Structure 1
Amino acid sequence: MRARAGRTRRALVPSRSVWHACCVNGTSAFQSALYSHKHDEQETCMNPFDLKQLGLDVEYPYRQQYDNYIGGKWVPPVKGEYFENVSPINGQPFCRIPRSGADDIELALDAAHAVRRQWGKTSVAERANLLLAAADRMEKNLKLLAVAETIDNGKPLRETMAADLPLAIDHFRYFAGCIRAQEGGISEIDDNTVAYHFHEPLGVVGQIIPWNFPLLMAAWKLAPALAAGCCVVMKPAEQTPASVLVLMELIGDLFPAGTINIVNGFGKEAGEALATSKRIAKIAFTGSTPVGKHILRAAADSLIPSTVELGGKSPNIFFADVLDQDDAFLDKALEGLAMFALNQGEVCTCPSRILIQESIYERFIEKAVARVERIKSGHPLDLQTMIGAQASQQQLDKILSYIDIGRGEGAQCLTGGERAAPAADLGTGYYVKPTMLLGNNKMRVFQEEIFGPVASVMTFKDEQEAIELANDTFYGLGAGVWTRNGTRAYRMGREVEAGRVWTNCYHLYPAHAAFGGYKQSGIGRETHKMALSNYQQTKCLLVSYQAEALGFF
C-alpha cells in the first residue's frame, strides 16, 4: 500500500500575506481568504472546507503552520524554511510545513538516542498499555483524524472513516497484544548448559512513509517499532505531511519525549539525510521501486537491516464460473473488479490488471463497466462520495499521460479516460474518472505502475494462460482470484507469484495478516506478529552451570 514517498510537488511560500489567524465556526478566516469564490446566488457551491456546511460536527483539524515534532516539542526547522501544503480537494494551500534538512534530522536523532535505553528497558506491559492508550485516543477522535486525512490526501471521507482510521487504530491494539504475548526461548544444551534467547530492540530506527495512506502507513510502522522498544525518526511524504502532525497533537504526550520524532521536508533533503544516516539501526521505507533500491544501497553501506514495500501491478483474475449464477457472489465479484478505483487507485496492490476468461468476456465486461460507472465522484468530505481526488497535480498529470499512452498503443477505452469535474468549486482539484483500457499484457499500461484509477483489461483461455499472464510482470505484491471452484482457487493462489493473493475478495488489510511482496515489490513483511522481528534482534545468552573447566588448556 504505497506511494512514491519523497517526491516534491509544492514550492516554497512566496508570500505570507494570507497567513493570518482567526477561527470562526471551525473554519479559519485564513481558509476563507484562500478559498473564497464568487458564486451566483442560485448556485449551490460552497467553501470546500466549511465543515459545518458539509454537515460535519467536528472542528477544523489544522493550524496554519506547523513545526517538526522532536523530543516531545514543536521545533522550528533549523533553516527557518517552510513550504505550502496543498489540498488535492481544490489544489489550494491550507497550511505551512517545515522544509527540513540534515540538521533537523540530526536534532531528531539526538532526541531519539537520548531516550532509547530508557524506552528499550520499559516493560512490555507498559509499552502495550501506552499503545492501547494511543488507540483509545485515536478512536475518540476518529472523525477529526479522518477529516484531517481527507483534506491532506484527497481521498473520500467515507474511506478514511470506515477503513483507514479503524485499521490504524486496530494496528496499535494488535501490536500491544503481540508484545505482551511474545516469548523468548530456552534450549537445554546438556544437563549443565542452557541457551536463553531474548528479543531486544534495535534502538533508533528511521521510517519513511508514503502519501497514499499517511495515517495508516504511519500506524503500520510506528506500532511494531514502539512495541519492540525502538525509538523512531519518521519522515512523512511531502505530498501529505500534515495529518500525522495532527496525530502527534493527540497522542504524542503519551510516550516519553524523543520516542517518536516527526521531521517533514522533501525526499532529496530530509529523506536522503535520514536514509543515509549512520546513527540509525534500521530503515523502513514504503514507496517506489527505484527509490527503494536506493534505500537498500544506503542500508548496505551502513550495514543495517531494511524493509522496503514497493511497487505493484496486481492481476485480478475472473474465471467463467463467476457468471454461473446471478447472485450475491457475482455482485461481490463485480465490486472486486471495481476495487481498482479504491483510494483513487493509489494503492500499491491496486488490481490494475483485470484478467477475464474469454468465454464470458462480453457478458461480464458489460456488467463490470456498468458497475464502475456507478462509482460516485464528488466532494471528498461528502460522505456519499465514493472516489475523491488524486494526491497531487504531479500524480494527476502522470495518470492522464498514461491514459494517452494506452490509447497510443492501441488500447480501447471502455469507460472514463478523462478528468472529472465533480463540482464547480472543485475545478482546480485533481480528479480523474475511473478508466478501463482493453488491450494486451505487452502494453506499457499493463506493465508499468500508473498508481491511479486505471485498470487494463485482457482475456485468457484457460487456467494455465491465466497463470502465465498474471506472473508476466516485474512485480509481485498482490493478486486476486475469483472462482466458485475451491480447488482451482487454491491452485491459483499457490501458482501466482505474489506476496498476498486475495481469494474471492480484495483490498482487505487486517493487522494479523502478513503483507509484503515478491520480486521487485519489496523485501520483508509488514503487519502480522512477524513485523515485530523487523525491529528486534535476538540475543543468545549461553550459560554454563558446571563448576569444572572444560579441560582444553
Structure 2
Amino acid sequence: MSTAVDPAQTIRRGPLTLDPTELPPQRHFLGGEFVPGASGGELEIVDPCTEARIAAVPEGTAAEVDRAVTAARRAQPDWARLSPKDRASVLYRIAERVEQHAQTMARLESANTGKPPEVAEDDVLSGADTFRFMAGAVRASTAQAAAEYVEQHLSVLLREPLGVVGVVTPWNYPFLMAAWKIAPILAAGNTLVLKPSEQTPLSTLKFAELTADLLPPGALNVVTGLGPEVGGALAAHPDVDMIALTGSVRSGQSVARAAADSLKRVHLELGGKAPVLVFDDADLDATATALRTAGFWNSGQECGAACRVLVHESVAEEFTAKLVDAVRAIVVGEPAAAEVELGPVVSKAHYERVCGFLRRAEENGIRAAVGGGPLDGPGYFVAPTVLVDVPEGAECAQEEIFGPVVSVETFRTEEEAVRRANAVPYGLASSVWTESGRRAQQVAAALDFGTVWVNSHLVLANEVPWGGFKGSGYGRDLSIYALEDYSRTKHVMTNNGR
C-alpha cells in the first residue's frame, strides 16, 4: 500500500530459542495419555515472528473426537460424584502446577503467537488464577432456599453437572481462553473434550502434559485439528451435552447450527468492536495513555480492544494528537528483544486480512496519523496505527479488524455518541470517559454491551462476568455465572404431609 509508515516504527529483533524439552508431545491427548493421529495428516505450527516452522500436530478426525468423547463420558460420573471440596482441591493443585511452570508456558505462548513476555506471562498467571477462583467459587455456590412453597410440599433446588462439554478455543489467547473454559467446566463436575486453534495448540498440549497426573484419565481430552472436522464433530456429537466456543462470529454460527440437531446447549463468546466514548470533560492525557495499552495489547488481537474511539468534536484535535504521540512510542518486535510491547499478528492469512482493511481505508480517504501498513519482514508485523478522518459507517469503524488499529471519529452530542456506539452488530465491551458521574451512569445504562468501563478499559477480574450481547454471543465466562452456565438446575419436590 502507498501509505508511508513512520520510519521510527521498526522491528526489534531477538529470536526466541525454545529448548526442545519445553515442547509438549505433538499428539492428541485422549483418556489421560498422548496418542498419535490416526489420519497421518499434520498441521504445521509457525513462528509468526520469523515464519519458521516450530512443530507439527496431528490433523484430527471425527473418529478421534468420538474416542475422546467416549473417554470423557466414561470419566464423568466418578468426577461428578466428588464433593465440591475434593474437586476444588484438584483445581488448586492445577493452579500451583501452572505457576510452577509459568516461565515454560509463557515461552511456549510467545514462540507460538509472538506475544511479548509481559503479555504471555500475564496470560499464564491469569489462567492459573482462574483455576484458583473456580476452586473457591464451587465451594461457595448459593441457591434458592429449600422451603415449602406449596403447603406440605418441600422444594429443593439442585445444581447438577451437564455431563460432557465440547470446547473450541481461539488463537489469540490459547492458554488463557482454555483456562476460562476448563476451570469452571471441571469445577461444576463436567468432563470435556477441547479443540485448540490449529495455529496455536502448543500451550494447551503442554497444560495437558503438566496436569496429566492431577486429573483422572478422560476428564480432560485434547484433539488437535481443523474447525470444520474437529469442531464440527464436537458440535454435532450426540454424547456431547454442551458446546462452548470462543472465536469468530462465523465460527459461532457454524457451531450453533451443528448443535441444533441434538438441541445441546451452546455457549458463545464471539467478536467485538468496542467503542470508546471520550467526552469533552475527560482527562485527555489519562485517556490517551490508557488507550495506548487497551487498544494495542496483544497486537490488538483482543475482542474487547479499545479499537473505535468516538471523541467530542471540541477536544478531538487535542486528544488525537496525544493518542498519536502515545502510539508512536510503542516498541514493536520479537519476544526476546528488549522492551518490546507489541508483537506480530498471528499468521500470514490474518496479516493479509489486517493489511486489507488498512488498504481499503486509505482508498476511501481515511488517513493514518501514525502507522498505516505492514513493517518489513520476515514476520507478520503491522505498524501500530491510528486512523483519522473516519466518517460514520466506515468499514474500519464497523467491522472487527482484530489488529493493532484504532480508528477515531467525532461526535457532537451525547445522544449521537450513544447511537453511533450502539450501531454495530457486536455487543461485547465499551468504555465511557468523563468526569461527570451522572453522565457516566446514564451513558453506561444506554450502551448495549456486556461490559462498560468508566474511565478505564480492558480491566478484567475472575470475580466478574465476561460476555456480550447481539453478535458477540451469549453465555458468560469468569465469575459464578460461568459455573451456572456449565451446570443445570433440578427441582425436587417432596410431599411431606402426614
- Measured against the shorter chain, the TM-score band is over 0.9
Counterpart residue identity of residue 77, structure 1: G
Deviation by residue 1:390-426 (Cα, 9 ceiling, x = unmatched): 01111100000100011112111111012124xxxxx
In the alignment, is the contact (CA less than 8 A) between 2:466 and 2:477 conserved in 1?
A: yes
Greater radius of gyration (CA): 1
Is 2:359 the partner of 1:392?
A: no
CA distance in 2, matches of 1:386, 1:81: 36
Partner of 1:433: 383
In the alignment, is the contact (CA less than 8 A) between 1:128 and 1:180 conserved in 2?
A: yes
Counterpart residue identity of residue 278, structure 2: F
Partner of 2:309: 354
Partner of 2:8: none
Counterpart residue identity of residue 541, structure 1: V
In the alignment, is the contact (CA less than 8 A) between 1:150 and 1:381 conserved in 2?
A: no
In the alignment, is the contact (CA less than 8 A) between 1:354 and 1:456 conserved in 2?
A: yes
1:409 to 364, 374, 393: 364
Counterpart residue identity of residue 43, structure 2: F
Counterpart residue identity of residue 330, structure 2: I
Partner of 1:68: 28
Counterpart residue identity of residue 49, structure 1: L
**3-state secondary structure, aligned to 2:453:** strand
Q: Mark the CA change 1:452 to 1:194 in structure 2 (over 3 Å): closer, same or farther.
A: same
Partner of 1:79: 39
Partner of 2:204: 244
What's the TM-score once normalised by structure 1's chain length? 0.85
Counterpart residue identity of residue 164, structure 1: D
In the alignment, is the contact (CA less than 8 A) between 2:13 and 2:336 conserved in 1?
A: no
Partner of 1:260: 220
Q: Mark the CA change 1:45 to 1:168 in structure 2 (over 3 Å): closer, same or farther.
A: closer
How far residue 441 of structure 1 moved from its aligned partner, in angstroms, is 2.4
CA distance in 1, matches of 2:365, 2:269: 32
CA distance in 2, matches of 1:511, 1:252: 24
Deviation by residue 1:361-399 (Cα, 9 ceiling, x = unmatched): 111111110000111112123461100110111110000
1:541 to 471, 492, 497: 492
2:286 to 318, 321, 332: 332
CA distance in 2, matches of 1:45, 1:319: 39
CA distance in 1, matches of 2:336, 2:240: 39
Is 2:160 the partner of 1:200?
A: yes
CA distance in 2, matches of 1:532, 1:247: 21
CA distance in 1, matches of 2:460, 2:13: 36
What's the TM-score once normalised by structure 2's chain length? 0.94
Is 2:78 the partner of 1:118?
A: yes
Query: What percentage of aligned pairs have identical amino acids?
Result: 37
1:49 to 6, 16, 19: 16
Counterpart residue identity of residue 353, structure 2: K
Counterpart residue identity of residue 374, structure 1: A
Counterpart residue identity of residue 125, structure 2: P
1:489 to 432, 440, 447: 440
**3-state secondary structure, aligned to 2:440:** helix
In the alignment, is the contact (CA less than 8 A) between 1:157 and 1:382 conserved in 2?
A: no
In the alignment, is the contact (CA less than 8 A) between 2:114 and 2:334 conserved in 1?
A: no
Partner of 1:143: 103
In the alignment, is the contact (CA less than 8 A) between 2:13 and 2:333 conserved in 1?
A: no
Q: Mark the CA change 1:471 to 1:512 in structure 2 (over 3 Å): closer, same or farther.
A: same
Deviation by residue 1:281-305 (Cα, 9 ceiling, x = unmatched): 0000111112211211222211111
1:370 to 306, 310, 325: 325
Counterpart residue identity of residue 178, structure 1: A
Q: Mark the CA change 1:256 to 1:409 in structure 2 (over 3 Å): closer, same or farther.
A: same
CA distance in 1, matches of 2:298, 2:478: 20
How far residue 157 of structure 1 moved from its aligned partner, in angstroms, is 1.1
Partner of 2:4: none
- Counterpart mapping for 1:29-48 below 5 A: 48=15
How far residue 82 of structure 1 moved from its aligned partner, in angstroms, is 1.8
In the alignment, is the contact (CA less than 8 A) between 1:204 and 1:282 conserved in 2?
A: yes
Partner of 2:374: 419
Partner of 2:402: 451
In the alignment, is the contact (CA less than 8 A) between 2:13 and 2:334 conserved in 1?
A: no
Partner of 1:153: 113
CA distance in 2, matches of 1:191, 1:492: 46
Is 2:482 the partner of 1:531?
A: yes
**3-state secondary structure, aligned to 1:480:** strand
CA distance in 1, matches of 2:21, 2:346: 20
Alignment coverage as a number of residue pairs: 484
Is 2:435 the partner of 1:476?
A: no
Is 2:84 the partner of 1:128?
A: no
**3-state secondary structure, aligned to 1:129:** helix
In the alignment, is the contact (CA less than 8 A) between 2:245 and 2:268 conserved in 1?
A: yes
Partner of 1:172: 131
CA distance in 1, matches of 2:497, 2:452: 52
Partner of 1:219: 179
How far residue 45 of structure 1 moved from its aligned partner, in angstroms, is 6.6
Q: CA RMSD in A?
A: 1.6
**3-state secondary structure, aligned to 1:455:** strand
Counterpart residue identity of residue 168, structure 1: G
Deviation by residue 1:122-157 (Cα, 9 ceiling, x = unmatched): 111010010010001111111111111111111111
Displaced runs of 4 or more, over 4 A: none
CA distance in 1, matches of 2:21, 2:107: 8
Partner of 1:233: 193
In the alignment, is the contact (CA less than 8 A) between 1:318 and 1:483 conserved in 2?
A: yes
Counterpart residue identity of residue 143, structure 1: Q
Partner of 2:232: 272
Partner of 2:299: 344
**Structure 1 stretches lacking a partner, 5+ long:** 1-43, 52-57, 324-329, 422-426, 548-553
In the alignment, is the contact (CA less than 8 A) between 1:120 and 1:201 conserved in 2?
A: yes
How far residue 434 of structure 1 moved from its aligned partner, in angstroms, is 0.8
In the alignment, is the contact (CA less than 8 A) between 1:417 and 1:433 conserved in 2?
A: yes
Counterpart residue identity of residue 320, structure 1: D
In the alignment, is the contact (CA less than 8 A) between 1:62 and 1:148 conserved in 2?
A: yes
Is 2:464 the partner of 1:518?
A: no
